[in-house]
Amino acid sequence: MPPKAANAVFLLSCPDQRGIVAAVSDFIYRNHGNIVSADQHSDEEQGTFLQRIEWELSGFRLPREAIGEAFRPIAERFGMSWDLRFSDHVPRVAIFVSRLDHCLHDLLWRQRIGELRAEVAFVISNHPDLRSVAEAFGVPFHVHETEPETRGASAEAMLRRLREGGIELVVLARYMQVLPPAFVASLPSRIINIHHSFLPAFAGARPYHQAHERGVKVIGATAHYVTAELDQGPIIEQEVARVSHRDSVADLIRKGRDLERVVLARAVNLHLAHGVLVYGNKTVVFD
């Protein structure tokens, strides 16, 4: 029996065609499900249809483990990629950091007050500096150094730790290291990074210095999925703040901290609420 308040969520994508919405909602209705939220998007250029649909498991006639099998004929008819998730599943998350604590601190605090619906299994860093921050929240902290000569071995060790820890999402909370391609490839759309600029402007190193040098009147932060190409992955969320000639680089860094932690938290929460669908190099965000 499913627990009382839990919902099921389908995340679907397929070639756009007639009858998808009707077929999916009919499937849920026939099995006595009550749809609490449905949103969809058609990308007309690519001819792609994407949908998020959520319904109450209370009263639903199929047990969780049978839903997939029952839905398979519909999925096959429309050529769907699909994912079935449950709102009461609390995923295990690992946070990667370097030396700056603002995003880590913010995520751990949000987790503690119940805003971030995940279990933070551990924190990984290439420096020992933030151990006390993690431990103050009761979260284990592991150092994995990333010297040039040990880089490959270190990435493998981290990956092993993620697997053994049953990690479903990695959050790079100002982790200032580039992860090797094999690492990234093993967690597709499961690594979220915060970059401290409004991408695609100021990709790469020291974006606040670049912004100050260019004399922009607005700075930003971008949360995106990590892909093989640096700072080029699908964007989940962005936010900006006004600046002026009065702001030094230090001021941009200070103002940027408030942007970064909010943008990263929003992106992680959207992901955890099963609200983000990736297609091509873009996201559809159902909020």
Among the options 101, 106, 231, 247, which is catalytic?
Answer: 231
Please state the length of the chain: 287
Residue 237 found at the interface with a second copy (CB under 8 A): yes
Residue 131 found at the interface with a second copy (CB under 8 A): no
* Selection from 170, 164, 237 nearest residue 199 by Cα: 237
Residue 144 found at the interface with a second copy (CB under 8 A): no
Instruction: Please confirm, yes or no, whether 247 is among the known catalytic residues.
Output: no
Residue 229 found at the interface with a second copy (CB under 8 A): no
Q: How far apart are CA 52 and CA 45, in angstroms?
A: 20
Q: How far apart are CA 264 and CA 256, in angstroms?
A: 12
Residue 147 found at the interface with a second copy (CB under 8 A): no
Least distance to a second copy, CB of residue 173, Å: 14
Query: Which residues within the stretch 176-215 sit at the binding site for a second copy (CB under 8 A)?
Result: 198-202, 214-215
Indicate the residue among 67 and 220 with the shorter CB distance to a second copy: 220
Residue 256 found at the interface with a second copy (CB under 8 A): no
- Kindly give the interhelix angle for 249-272 and 207-214, rounded to the nearest 10 degrees: 130
Indicate the residue among 173 and 235 with the shorter CB distance to a second copy: 235
* Selection from 195, 191, 124 nearest residue 158 by Cα: 124
Query: Which residues within the stretch 88-117 sit at the binding site for a second copy (CB under 8 A)?
Result: 101-102, 105, 109, 113, 115
Residue 141 found at the interface with a second copy (CB under 8 A): no
Residue 129 found at the interface with a second copy (CB under 8 A): no
The amino acid occupying position 48 is T
Indicate the residue among 119 and 251 with the shorter CB distance to a second copy: 251
Which span (63-71, 86-94, 184-192, 234-242) binds a second copy, by CB under 8 A? 234-242
Angle at 207 between CA 203 and CA 211, to 5 degrees: 115
Helices (H) and strands (E) in the chain, counts: 8, 13
Query: Which residues within the stretch 6-35 sit at the binding site for a second copy (CB under 8 A)?
Result: 17-23, 25-26, 28-30, 32-35
63, 123, 235, 272 from 200: Cα distances, Å: 45, 28, 10, 25
Q: How far apart are CA 282 and CA 278, in angstroms?
A: 6
Q: How far apart are CA 85 and CA 53, in angstroms?
A: 11
Which span (90-98, 144-152, 160-168, 235-243) binds a second copy, by CB under 8 A? 235-243
Residue 4 found at the interface with a second copy (CB under 8 A): no
Q: How far apart are CA 40 and CA 184, in angstroms?
A: 28
Positions touching a second copy (CB under 8 A) are: 17-23, 25-26, 28-30, 32-44, 101-102, 105, 109, 113, 115, 136, 198-202, 214-218, 220, 234-240, 242, 244-246, 248, 254, 258, 262, 281-285, 287
